[in-house]
Structure 1
Amino acid sequence: MSGTPAARRLPTGTMASYGFGAAAYGVKDSGFGTFLLLFYNQVVGVPAATVGLIIMIALIVDAFIDPTVGFLSDRTRSRWGRRHPWMYGAAVPIMIGWIALWNPPAMSEPATLAWLFVIAVLVRSAVSAYEVPSQALTPELTGDYDERTRIMAFRYLFGWAGGLAMLVSAYLYFLAPAPGYPNGLLNRAGYSGFAIAGALFMGLAILVSALGTHREIPRLPRPPARAGSLGDNFRELRETLRNRAFLVLILAGVCAYTSQGVAYAISNYLYSYVWGFTGFTFLYLSLSLFAGVMVAFVAAQAIGRRASKPRAATIAMLLAATLVTSPYWLRLAGLFPPVGDPRTLPLLFLLTSLGTTCGVTSYILGSSMMADVAEDSEMRTGRRSEGVFYAGGFFVQKCTSGIGIFVTGLILSVSGFPAKAVPGQVPVATLDRLTLIYILVYGGFATLAALAYSRFPFGRHEHEARLAHLAAVPVPADIQT
């Protein structure tokens, strides 16, 4: 089979199983983004800025791991194709690393930080070994412009569903209030069960996805193998960076996912200390978030069929920035109902849900555009390098828990937020500083993401013309088998 995939609609079973695999990343992302900083800062007792720095340093390691996985995945040749050996092989290491991350031994602070760094790198490397090859399947499964948006919509739906399922289980069971722990998020024992449940969920999602898409292996593009070394990977990356469309999406993604990462990492601080959430209130929050994701699942596909993806992603990101931060700047202005007012929670959940809809719509459209870049690069370089492209895209997504946690650690430090704080006992002035800095940081990154999306250089017409051209071009003679 040639390197250019056929334009086709995927069977529902294939689409569902492929999308379900993203639940593994959703579990990892929700754990890293929502609980990791809180756990190591408020439970273990490591300074927030230091935790953020360690996670940020681990992200630098990812900058080398992700493209290496993409390079090796592109060049893997087996009876199971290029991607599936990696997908199957990642399940067990992810599960082991995830359990270790949430169960650090009693050690000195430097040793605890070393444990966090090593295990974080292990977990994220194992996730890369699954997620980079898995995402690279998107442009290989179909060449259809709209079907790629549908694929990414399914991946985001299941990814968010997996993450929110773990949030709900954490808030209602594993980290629920318990004797001696009115705020269950500070109960260290609960994180052990949370870790085991997450590990099992991730392993299941990965295996279901790999098995469910296994039947597609004979239909996937099988471009001839190229001779080359690992050093060729980084030469290819340099060529990739000359691709304007890819560079635009990388810039947009770094800013968009960093803003999301800040929102994730600071969320439990805001909900627990600013809004006074406890118990079932977190369940209602999770339901409102998932409602927003469900709307985005439908909206992104409809918008992708009828409008310019770059323009729609730009507008959606700006709306997300406005809606997500609005409860906080309205609160600072004295215009938001106070805590305890019956209007507070419904209004907060509504704005949060609408902001989630806009943000996820923007992410889906952006990821769909990344799939379209594969053919643009093939036109320019004569090779398909989905693994390398999606390594870059996946590295960007890791900015959620890398740069996002680092920036949040700085926000907590600058705002003077105390360690092991008790809800209801943090000074109002401290909370005001925290929310003001959050508004500025989140809004700034989201605005930069929107500006980058607006510069994406092509759409449907150019993509379809490119596919027609590639279908008529023979495989270059210099490719070695």
Structure 2
Amino acid sequence: MEVSSQHLLSNEYTEVYRRLPLKLQLAYGVGHVLNDVCASMWFTYLLVFFHLVLQFSNWEAGFMLLVGQVADAVSTPFVGFHSDQTDNFWLCRYGRRKTWHLIGTVCVLTTFPFIFAPCINCTDSHKWAQIFYYCVFITIFQFGWASVQISHLSLIPELTPNEHDRTKLTAIRYSFTVVSNLLVYVITWAILHINSGAESKVGPGDADKFQHVVWTGLAIGIVSSVIFHVFVKEEGAFGTTNDVRGTQLRTPIKDLLMSLEVYQVAVVYMSTRLFVNLTQVFIPLYLHETLDMTASALALIPLIMFIGSFVTSMTIEKLNRGFGRRLSYILGVLMGISACIWIKLGSGDPLKAYQIHIIAVLIGACGSITLVTSLGITADLIGDKTDSGAFVYGIMSFTDKLANGVAVVIIQDLHKDPTNKSYYRDTLTYVCGGSAILGALAVISLLKKVRVDHLGYENVPNYNSINSSDVHPVVTEEIQPSLIS
């Protein structure tokens, strides 16, 4: 093994770089809370709301979710490309990333409340007129959501050049995601359980209850966004790569699109999001239709799922450091596959009484480990080419959103027999389990070469094959295809 001279940084650079203060880490982490609250409602309750409350058919509800996912998928590379530009747009003096974050926040706040509400002055209109009404708000909302997501993610490699701190920021970001989901489920459980009764099921009379959940969540998101914009400074205040070297490190889009590693990492990220999002979408319908559980269970089980996710998220940084990204990811996949098999084989009162709670913890742990690790792999891919970072995240998110939308509408369209109570059980088993396996295979395909640094991290080669983002020497070695780190 030989130490690459490209990774030996100057003393001047080492002196400029400082570990990120805790205040900045926390302020960064809350910057995605508004998105997280809305995403929790979107993936967990959109189909429930449109199908059970507004009485749209399975296909119509799935179609509106698909419209949102396509709008998000198209928006992500667009936002990513323009977020990377250093043009003269006057507001960009506020910061390229934070400008798009602000624009997205405004779009989300002005449209999301209309999605989880009856059609204003058109409840008696034709279904397709109502669908068009909702799709307008959904499209603007998803553009805003994508703007916040991509700008927030692309700040990670800009705020710090150190892989350890990047993983920590990703873990903190995900911890706040989990907390946001927990808040949504606690609020939803309280409103549905207290106001509807312990034995009631979701129906057309629950529209106002969903509005209460939405406005409570948005209030939390507004406060969090204000904290983010006040305390997070973008323009290299913490010793980013561009400040130290005085140059703009950018990879041409053509080179990105011709890089095999980009597509390998995209499959990892897409598969991860498929598992996380599809379990979030179909667990409530599985509880309602297959297990015939009460309305409060539709909030309680996802709540338990995200408690497991939150507890696991606090260990991910150490897990990645101790076992490497590959083994950590595969460990998460094994938990997810175990949960899917259990869903398939479990039955009767024991499943509803206590087994479903263990399954929820396993699903949450799998989602937490695989999602944070896949984001770490993406940050490794970007390396110090931060001026192309947003576009890379845009590519990842494009595949994720499109795949999720297509998957949901196909699953909903195939569910034509209302007497088939096992449909969502099989969906969780085969579709979600298959997504987890695909992610594991994609991670294994990345074994061509990794960089192993002094902290024990395994870093994907970036798309220029040069990464001087660490402040410590990095050893490069060939790794044979093996599950052992």
TM class by smaller structure: 0.7 to 0.9
Aligned residues: 437
Residue 356 (structure 1) shift: 1.5
* 1:154-303 correspondence runs (5 A): 154-173=172-191, 177-178=195-196, 182-184=200-202, 186=204, 187-214=206-233, 217-219=236-238, 220-222=240-242, 236-278=252-294, 281=297, 284-303=300-319
Q: Report the counterpart of residue 376 of structure 2 in structure 1.
A: 368
Q: Does 1:21 align with 2:36?
A: no
Output one character per residue of 1:99-146: Cα deviation in whole Å (capped at 9) or x when no partner: 111122313111111122221111110112222111101111112122
Distance 1:410 1:454, change over 3 A: farther
Distance 1:347 1:62, change over 3 A: closer
Contact preservation (8 Å) 2:284, 2:298: no
CA distance in 2, matches of 1:101, 1:76: 35
Residue 208 (structure 1) shift: 1.8
Contact preservation (8 Å) 2:51, 2:61: yes
Output one character per residue of 1:428-480: Cα deviation in whole Å (capped at 9) or x when no partner: xx212432243111111221111112222524348599444999xxxxxxxxx
Q: Report the counterpart of residue 65 of structure 2 in structure 1.
A: 55
Contact preservation (8 Å) 2:199, 2:294: no
Contact preservation (8 Å) 1:252, 1:450: yes
More divergent stretch after superposition (254-263 vs 167-176): 167-176
Q: Report the counterpart of residue 474 of structure 1 in structure 2.
A: none
CA distance in 2, matches of 1:295, 1:184: 30
* Structure 2 unmatched ranges of 5 or more: 1-12, 472-485
CA distance in 2, matches of 1:195, 1:395: 26
Q: Report the counterpart of residue 436 of structure 1 in structure 2.
A: 426
Distance 1:258 1:185, change over 3 A: farther
CA distance in 1, matches of 2:103, 2:333: 36
Contact preservation (8 Å) 1:87, 1:206: no
CA distance in 2, matches of 1:344, 1:59: 32
Q: Report the counterpart of residue 94 of structure 2 in structure 1.
A: 80
TM-score (norm 2): 0.80
SS at match of 1:431: coil
**Letter matched to residue 321 of structure 2:** R
Contact preservation (8 Å) 2:71, 2:142: no
Output one character per residue of 1:35-91: Cα deviation in whole Å (capped at 9) or x when no partner: 111211222122212322333244333333211211221124644332122223332
CA distance in 2, matches of 1:175, 1:36: 19
Residue 19 (structure 1) shift: 1.0
- Please tell me the root mean square deviation across aligned C-alpha atoms, in Å: 3.3
Q: Does 1:406 align with 2:409?
A: yes
Contact preservation (8 Å) 1:33, 1:400: no
Q: Report the counterpart of residue 349 of structure 1 in structure 2.
A: 357
* Structure 1 unmatched ranges of 5 or more: 227-232, 418-426, 472-481
Q: Report the counterpart of residue 476 of structure 1 in structure 2.
A: none
Output one character per residue of 1:289-316: Cα deviation in whole Å (capped at 9) or x when no partner: 2331233213311121122212321332
* 1:79-158 correspondence runs (5 A): 79-103=93-117, 104-105=119-120, 106=123, 107-158=125-176
Q: Report the counterpart of residue 330 of structure 1 in structure 2.
A: 345
Contact preservation (8 Å) 2:171, 2:313: yes
